[in-house]
Amino acid sequence: MGHTEERTFIAIKPDAVIRGLTSTIIKRFEDKGYKIIGLKMLMVSKEQAAQHYAEHFGKPFYDRLIKYIQSGPIVAMVLQGYNVIKGARQLMGATDPAEAQVGTIRADFAQLKEYNSVHGSDCPESAAREIAIYFKPEELCTNWKNMTELVTEKEDLE
């Protein structure tokens, strides 16, 4: 059988970038052993914001959310690893920082769900869709092994 590696899209949102938390948040994901295969800072365009949050269109918080994600630079990342979609969301914690477990990014660095510091894809389809909004295929660095891959014998995994 063996475990397959997945990819996910992560964004450090403007509130966290502005507060100087970029390196701290990247470190949470790196320390877990996830491989960063895409990384850049950008200002989210109107079009990107609308595509990214299309599922929330029409909700009461939609306009505020679009304004928030464009309120400063984001740091966009593509991570690769075993069960990285679920695992990254565990590291992030619940959407509302007040409900998030202590030790998660949102519990440790945020107070409000309107400013919850980090985004992570919620399923493989969302991950593929979101990665394509922010990265061209040639911007991903896939042809290297990180330490987790070097110490993981894939044929030994159940």
- By the 10 Å C-beta count (0-12 exposed, 13-18 middle, 19+ buried), 126 is classed as middle
Q: Is 57 a binder of ligand IDP (CB under 6 A)? A: no
Min dist CB 154 to ligand IDP, Å, is 30
User: What would the two tokens of residue 140 be?
Assistant: 């991903």
The nearer residue to ligand IDP, 35 or 106, going by C-beta atoms, is 106
Q: Is 116 a binder of ligand IDP (CB under 6 A)? A: yes
Residue 119 binding: pick among ligand IDP, Mg ion, none (C-beta 5-8 Å cut-off by kind): ligand IDP
* Residue list 80-109, contact with ligand IDP (CB under 6 A): 95
Choices 3-11, 97-105, 110-118, 127-135; region in contact with ligand IDP by CB under 6 A? 110-118
119 is catalytic: yes
Q: Is 61 a binder of ligand IDP (CB under 6 A)? A: yes
Rounded to whole angstroms, the Cα distance separating 65 from 134 reads 17
Rounded to whole angstroms, the Cα distance separating 108 from 46 reads 30
* Residue list 104-123, contact with Mg ion (CB under 5 A): 122
Tallying the residues shown for the chain, one arrives at 158
Residue 113 binding: pick among ligand IDP, Mg ion, none (C-beta 5-8 Å cut-off by kind): ligand IDP
Min dist CB 95 to ligand IDP, Å, is 3
72, 73, 113, 152: residue in contact with ligand IDP (rule CB under 6 A): 113
The footprint of ligand IDP (CB under 6 A) covers 56, 61, 65, 95, 113-114, 116, 119, 122
